[in-house]
Amino acid sequence: MDGDLALCAGRQAEFRQVGRARRDGTPYSTPSSHVLSGDLEGSTSCQDLSGQGSTRLPDQRSEKASDVRKIIHVDMDAFFAAVEQRDHPELRGQPVIVGGDPGGRGVVATCSYEARRFGIHSAMTAARARSLCPQAIFLRPRMEAYREVSRQVMGILRCYTPLVEPLSLDEAFLDVTAATADGVLAVQIAREIRARIERETGLTASAGVSYNKLLAKLASDWRKPNGLFVVPPERGLAFLAPLSVGKLHGVGPATVKKLLSMEIHTVLDLRNASREALIAQFGKAGLWFYEIARGIDLRPVQPSHQRKSVGTERTFPKNLADPQVMLATLQQMAGQVAARLQVLGLAGRTVSIKARFPDFATITRAHTDAQTIWRTEAISACLPGLLAKAIPAGLPVHASVRLLGVAVSGLVNVEAVPPDTGQMNLLEDAVDLR
Ligand SMILES: [Mg+2]
């Protein structure tokens, strides 16, 4: 991918200086120092802080620095597997797979980078992983250990801003706009966070810094593992242009297929499609695609106390027509939503489902309970009734769905969720669900 980017010799020289400062142990205590100029403030470069080069392209927008948000996405590297390798030194350097039983229907939850070299990845069946790498070491997840590290990591993140939005046990968005108002740079915060995580947990995290969630998340993935990457506003469009559309948030396999049939492969292709064409093809989602192709993503970072709902949704490569399959899919999502509620320390009173039909018409159906809901069982119990309301028998137009979603809203904070009662074990169970 680097081949697409013009190198900037000046910035590279500057980077080398950063590298020297780092080796000398010089602290990054002066935010105005040139060594931090890869940050979002007034910079025209996109620095690769992992030492693999830097890039520069002409300014493409002239937003005032004060209008620009500073978003960091932090993502632990191969999280479950890394915790196992940390706690069991004999596993270091080995292909380690945390997940379900390779002899059964289990799936890979996380695998070490050594295992990834064999083509193994998350969500692959454990049986397939074993056939790719027979010598791999298979471990069952130890969720309590991972939750403990997660609490530590989220605690570190909250030292820098109250605006921390965990996405799962091992990744979160931070909005550090306010923290940077007095001249501290977002990249400095990201660098410090990575160092603290490593020092305090013995594990590495990658971080991306940019002006919205879409780009911060793509940036954290850019130099994984153990990387830091910054996409300043003037670099956003060029950074996105060569990426395949499937990398974009909200673009699932079904959408990718449809986009490919429209000869849209890269984000640049998507940018060249007209707004009208995208809306005609994808409805409201088309508008989202139109905007993200231009690096526009106004979604706020939502800390759990401001959050209105916790949910998940999935677009299917082939429309689902069998109500039994729809229900099973919704129940699987209920487990994911319950796990997410646990991470966020939340519970709710309303369970809703969302269904999108082949004509892109979208409906939601909700059930509000007198009890607070946070366990999978409780969410699941609402699903048959909601599905029956969403897909009434005898309506052929809406008999199949291209998307389903489950959400819990009416949220309240759960002060103390007992760690080992049912709910969180669902994360373990989820490993064997597929
Ligand atoms: Mg991760």
User: Does residue 36 carry a pLDDT above 50?
Assistant: no
Q: Quick one: average pLDDT of 383-400?
A: 82
Take residue 355 and report the two structure tokens written for it. 């269904």
Rounded distance from Cα 418 to ligand 1 centre (Å): 25
**170 among annotated binding-site residues:** yes
Res. 9: pLDDT tops 50: no
Q: Is the pLDDT of residue 426 over 90?
A: no
Distance 170 CA to ligand 1 centre (A): 5
Residue 308 pLDDT level (bands cut at 50, 70, 90)? confident
Looking at residues 309-334, what average pLDDT do you find? 92
Taking the C-alpha atoms of 123, 195, 416 and 307 in order, what is their torsion angle to the nearest 10 degrees?
A: -70
Q: Cα(179)–Cα(245) distance, rounded to whole angstroms?
A: 33
Please say if the pLDDT value at position 218 is more than 70. yes
Q: Predicted confidence band at 392 (pLDDT cuts at 50, 70, 90)?
A: confident
10 Å CB burial of residue 211 (0-12, 13-18, 19+) is buried
Task: Count the helix, strand and coil residues of the chain and give each as a percent rounded to the nearest 5.
Answer: 45, 20, 35
Q: What was the pLDDT predicted at 415? A: 54
Res 397: pLDDT = 66
Check residue 391 and give its pLDDT. Answer: 86
**171 CA to centre of ligand 1 in angstroms:** 6
- The listed CATH number (3.40.50.12710, 3.90.230.10, 3.50.50.60, 3.30.1490.100) that belongs to domain 307-430: 3.30.1490.100
User: Rounded distance, CA 255 to CA 315, Å?
Assistant: 8
Domains 2-64+178-239 and 243-292 are alike in CATH topology: no
Distance 424 CA to ligand 1 centre (A): 18
pLDDT bracket for residue 421 (50, 70, 90): very low
Q: Can you tell me the mean pLDDT for 383-388?
A: 94
Q: What is the third-level CATH fold of 2-64+178-239? A: Alpha-Beta Plaits (3.30.70)
Domain 243-292: assigned CATH number: 1.10.150.20
Residue 3 has pLDDT above 60, yes or no: no
pLDDT band at 398 (very low <50, low <70, confident <90, very high): confident
- What string of DSSP letters covers 22-51? HHTT-----TTSGGGTTSSSS--EEEBTTS
Q: Is the pLDDT of residue 210 over 60?
A: yes
Tokens at 291, concatenated: 């905007």
pLDDT exceeds cutoff 90 at 138: yes
Distance from residue 172's CA to the centre of ligand 1 (Å) = 10
Helix (H, G, I), strand (E, B), or coil: what is residue 407? Answer: strand
* Residues in the 5 Å CB sphere of ion ligand 1: 75-76, 79, 170
Considering the candidates 14, 84, 171, 234, report the single residue annotated as catalytic: 171
What are the boundaries of each domain within the chain? 2-64+178-239, 243-292, 307-430
Across the strands, what pairs with 164? 174
Is residue 267 within 8 Å of 295, Cβ to Cβ?
no
Q: What is the pLDDT of residue 14?
A: 28
For the beta carbon of residue 158, count every other beta carbon within 10 angstroms.
Answer: 14
Is 48 marked within a binding site? no
What is the spatial distance between Cα 302 and Cα 313, in angstroms, rounded to a whole number?
Answer: 18
- Annotated catalytic residue 415: no
**2-21 mean pLDDT:** 30
pLDDT band per the 50, 70, 90 thresholds, residue 42: very low
